[in-house]
Amino acid sequence: MKRAIKVLTLAIVIALCGYQFTNAQTKARPKAKPAAEWKKILTPTQYYIMVEQGTEAPYKNPYFDMHEKGVFVSAATGDVLFTSEDKYDSGTGWPSFVKPASNNVIEIRKDADGQRDEVIEKSTGLHLGHVFDDGPADRGGKRYCMNSGALKFIKK
């Protein structure tokens, strides 16, 4: 009987800790979803890039050579991430920006290999691309190198 009470108590403690962790995670990333849910929402390309942290091929993506005026929103949430005013031709084959639309919408962290600075969407934790220190010096020196598949363009 005492063993059953100990096991039950331990199960309750673990469940409560799990609830608190999940609840804290949701507060930190209010639009986060499990991978299975993103798989239902995103296209296969968007899922590969954003959830599996993949990279699309350079020069073979819709936005690297786009010069229209508008905003680039998250393919997952629709939140504005970048503007056409901050986009420039980096010669890399990916859409590149000198800065995000707001520092509140992205987060920068070391990627899995610890070599590059990964850009993620702050509200979801989803992968967008990388940021480098080789952008135009007169515009802040940053190159936010994004995957077109993580973005949607809204024309102004």
* 71 and 108 share one domain: yes
Consecutive H or E run containing 7:
helix 2-28
DSSP 124: T
For the ranges 16-20, 28-32, 67-71, 117-121, the lowest mean pLDDT is seen at 16-20
Of 42, 75, 126, 145, the active-site residue reads 145
The domain in which residue 115 lies consists of: 35-155
Please confirm, yes or no, whether 145 is among the known catalytic residues: yes
What string of DSSP letters covers 26-91? Answer: HHHSTT---HHHHHHHS-HHHHHHHTS---PPTTSSTTTT---SEEEEETTT--EEEEGGGEE--S
Q: 13 with 43, same domain? A: no
pTM over 0.75: yes
* Residue 111: pLDDT over 80: yes
Least confident of 3-7, 9-13, 107-111, 137-141: 9-13
| Residue range 56-85: mean pLDDT, rounded | 97
> With pLDDT > 90 as the criterion, what percentage of the chain qualifies?
79
> In the predicted model, what is the mean pLDDT of the chain?
88
Q: How many domains does one find in the chain?
A: 2
